[in-house]
Amino acid sequence: MLGKVLLIAPYKGLATLAARMARRRRDLDVTVRTADLAAAAPLLDWAHGKGFDLIISRGGTAELLEAGGTLPVVEIPVSGYDLFRLTSFIKDYSGRVSLIGFPNVCAGVATFSEYLNVEIPYTVVHCPDDVAEAIRRARDDGRMIIGDTVTVRLAEDAGLKGLLITSGPESVSLAFDIAANLLRGIQRTRERQEIVEYSLHALGRETVLLDGDGAQVPLLQSPPLAGSHARWRDLLVPVFAAHRTLPEGPYTLRNGVLSDAPDPQAVLAPLRSGRRFLLFHGADVVGDRATRLHLTHTPPTALGQLTADRHHLSHAAERARELLRAPGPLALVGEPGTGRTRMLRAIQTALHGPETALLLGIEIRHTSREALRQTLDALAATAGRLVAITGVEILKRVDQVQLARDLENYGQGVVLMFAAAPADLAAQGRLAPELVRLVQDRRIDLPAVGDDARIFEATALYHLMEANARHGKHLRGFSPAAIDALRRRRWPNNYADLAAFVDRLVHDSFDDARLIDEIPDPPSPDVSKQDKSDFTVDLTLPLHEIEARVIARVLEEERGNRSAAAARLGIGRSTIWRKLQGDA
């Protein structure tokens, strides 16, 4: 064994790849840790204490470690293979991209893009200030950002998702080879030093080493391995302080309070997942109310950012930008998993600026007049805050008409949420024509995952690039047959399900340099666990009633997701509701 090596990976995927490759190195004792930039600095003291001989890292993290410690640092290079893979991905991706990088990266990408005859916009940067300005321009232009770990981190700080230029197995293998050669040299130097020190010690304690001019030469001493852990501790304390669980409150609502509240304070009880907040006031219990009120902590999101983050939202973002020029309520139409929360964040930022962090939602849960009263009270108390209302279609017709009249007067900043088109709901008798007329020209549609073949392929490729970086894999893309197989699958939660499936596909892949040409079949249901007698159909009924019962059952199993139910039944989404109403 040549020595102990600490590999500090700036991102998780590189750590996974390095750990996998390190197991095949018999000459190196490799330990892998994940840390980026300043977070990696405390590992220097730990490395000294554990007797590591050398550090491997990448990019800005490697430069910082080399400047701040005494251990030699080997940098994982951005190789031609890495740049070729990146250029090949961008060539097939139909979204708008902007590469931000230092001169060596941009020069390589320019060379490969010319070779592949594809135009890749790029911005050359020389310092973090240049990166921030380039990110701002790319965000305003609705482009997806691609860069190194520093660029992606700064993009995420600005609220924009970035894709990482990843290091492939060739780059990691080269870094291991350089480290092994360096350790061999260090080992030979130490052996010669030990021989000199032993010889000098044998000559006597008073012996000194003189140069040609008779001046004493100080003997080389090995650096102390045991360093102080004070800096490590000092860096961790503020980190833990900043990430403590948020206290429950009470907090004061700046934009007004709900009517009948006994005091102007509300308690925000945080949940551990997703930083969502439930709003309680007085002695009310949210679950017992005719409406459910909730506040969601949301980062600022620009409308142009939607195009860069999710290719399928580009047309919806343009539509929102157009509608927000005039006052009035909006209708946001989209199934679960199509990006409704992202769109709400962008609308909120466009209306109120990036300083607004809490998004108020009203979920109408009962058909009673009390549900309408609570909804109107909440709207009156929001004082201009963006409000997203779901469930208006369950109100009684007279209450829907009353809500439409009120929204005509103070509907600015109100978004009505629908899973189906308002006109379709009206055709089913579930939505008052007054509400339909109010939003028929102010509607933003979010496409379902299978609505557009081109968007579907671009989205699948985007998620593949993300998953490659996350898991340290390098799958090269999808074949046309694989894309077709993906489109034929059922995606009840649309893009959210597609992202999760691609991530699992990459995680489970053994060959990480291939083109995906086969999609695994969905798991077969366990027939033994199904109760075949829990659903029966009376065959003496008219055909339209049998169809309606089957459709209702499938909708129930799909939790009301019309797109998923239509896919199972092999019919259109609008056909479902016509058949439920007894129409042909």
Three-state SS for 544?
Answer: helix
Over residues 125-134, the mean pLDDT reads 82
Q: For residue 390, which phi and psi values (nearest 5 degrees)?
A: -115, 150
The reported pLDDT for the residue numbered 215 is: 61
Q: What is the pLDDT of the chain when averaged over all its residues?
A: 76
Yes or no: is domain 251-445 CATH 3.40.50.1360?
no
Per-residue pLDDT tens over the stretch 57-69: 988 788 888 887 7
Has residue 502 got a pLDDT over 90? yes
Higher confidence at residue 327 or residue 285? 327
Query: DSSP character for 54?
Result: E
Determine the Cα–Cα distance for residues 396 and 1; give it in Å rounded to an integer: 77
The band of 276, judged by pLDDT with boundaries at 50, 70 and 90, is very low
Q: Quick one: pLDDT at residue 102?
A: 77
CA atoms 29, 34, 37, 43: torsion sign? negative
Class of domain 80-164: alpha beta
Helix 397-410 / helix 369-381 crossing angle, nearest 10 deg? 10
pLDDT of 204 higher than 60: no
Fold category of 527-580 in CATH: Arc Repressor Mutant, subunit A (1.10.10)
Q: How many CA atoms does the CB half-sphere of 183 hold within 13 Å?
A: 22
**Level-2 CATH architecture, domain 1-76+175-244:** 3-Layer(aba) Sandwich (3.40)
Q: What is the pLDDT of residue 201?
A: 54
Q: Where do the structural domains in the chain lie, given as residue ranges?
A: 1-76+175-244, 80-164, 251-445, 453-515, 527-580
374 φψ region: left (φ > 0), alpha (ψ -120 to 50), beta (else): alpha
Average pLDDT over residues 436-458: 90
Sorting pLDDT into bands at 50, 70 and 90, what band is 197?
A: low
Span 242-263, average pLDDT: 33
Closest by CA to 485, choosing from 525, 450, 524, 513, is 450
pLDDT at 331: 96
Whether 226 has a pLDDT exceeding 50, the answer reads no
The stretch 137-143 carries a mean pLDDT of 81
% of residues, the chain, pLDDT over 70: 74
| Tokens 């009505």, residue located | 416
- Reply yes or no on whether the pLDDT at 424 is more than 50: yes
Is pLDDT above 80 for 135? yes
Topology match between the domains 251-445 and 527-580: no
SS3 268: strand
pLDDT in tens, 329-373: 999 999 988 999 889 989 988 888 876 666 778 888 888 888 898
Q: How much of the chain, in percent, has pLDDT values that exceed 90? A: 22
Fold of 453-515: Helicase, Ruva Protein; domain 3 (1.10.8)
pLDDT at 449 over 80: yes
Question: What does the DSSP 8-state code read for residue 510?
Answer: S
Which of these ranges, 33-42, 97-106, 221-230, 425-434, has the smallest mean pLDDT?
Answer: 221-230
Residue 373: its pLDDT value, please? 85
Report the length, in residues, of the chain.
584
More confident residue, 207 or 274: 207
Which pLDDT score, from 0 to 100, does residue 389 have? Answer: 93
Do residues 90 and 97 make contact, with C-beta atoms less than 8 angstroms apart? yes
pLDDT given for residue 453 in this prediction:
85
Determine the average pLDDT of the residues in 545-562. 77
**What pLDDT sits at residue 185?**
86
pLDDT at 14 over 60: yes
Q: Binning pLDDT at 50, 70 and 90, where does residue 438 land?
A: very high
For the chain, percent helix, then strand, then coil, each to nearest 5? 50, 15, 35
Instruction: Determine the Cα–Cα distance for residues 584 and 569; give it in Å rounded to an integer.
Output: 16
